[in-house]
A and B are shown apart, each in its own frame.
Chain A
């Protein structure tokens, strides 16, 4: 119930393409869903986040789509650039403010 399942494990996208990473959860008490971007040897940085009362949130080239009934949410990176190459983690907050992490997706953008 506390898991957040993330897929794919790795993803290769051509420059200019759309990168899509998916996450699914089971606990309906989760009320905040952030995405983090992590470059090698660095700590994760908050990229974008959404609450379940919203179905979509867009910030620049990054969009979160949220499907509350299916308990799924996804990150879309439009016009993907080589600088977007990183590991992306989805996460969910539970009522105890514990952050439950997805397993991560290593994204490689090919020039």
Chain B
């Protein structure tokens, strides 16, 4: 199946700093990528949907100025957590939809564990 690479897998940062997480589709083009946040023992919570070359669509309650999403190419989307605080500590997961693929064909990255001290 298609591979989605997410980097870094783990990151620890100080409060007030910004952290960038990359999501790459390695062997396919992804017109749409999704960013999720997952708390321990909970399901994935969709944060935003990003389409290549356009602004991301954020879910209700997600601060777009805090979670900056850039989908500059068909194979790369980035999530930047700006001025991170301890409450932003979480597991962030991206997924990508294959361009022209069947409805529902989503492939997930391995996730990025963010710890804000």
Contacts and interface: CB of A to CB of B under 8 A. Distances in A.
Interface of A: 31-32, 34, 36, 41-46, 49, 89, 93, 97-99, 101-104, 106
Interface in B1-48: 1, 4, 6, 32, 34, 41-44, 46
B5 to A, nearest CB: 11
A32 B104 contact: yes
Contacts of B93: 43-44
A43 B46 contact: no
Interface in B97-117: 97, 103-104, 106-111, 113
Interface of B: 1, 4, 6, 32, 34, 41-44, 46, 91, 93-95, 97, 103-104, 106-111, 113
Contacts of B46: 98-99
B97 A43 contact: no
Nearest 5 interchain pairs by C-beta: A32-B104, A43-B108, A43-B111, A101-B43, A93-B104
A41 B104 CA distance: 23
Given A43-B4, A46-B106, A99-B104, 16 more contacts: A32-B103, A34-B106, A41-B111, A42-B111, A43-B6, A43-B110, A44-B93, A46-B107, A49-B104, A89-B43, A89-B44, A93-B104, A99-B46, A101-B44, A104-B41, A106-B41
Nearest to B94: A43
A31 B110 contact: no
Contacts of A98: 46
A31 B43 contact: no
B108 A44 contact: yes
Nearest to B4: A43
A82 to B, nearest CB: 20
A100 to B, nearest CB: 9
A34 B113 CA distance: 25
B42 to A, nearest CB: 7
B96 to A, nearest CB: 11
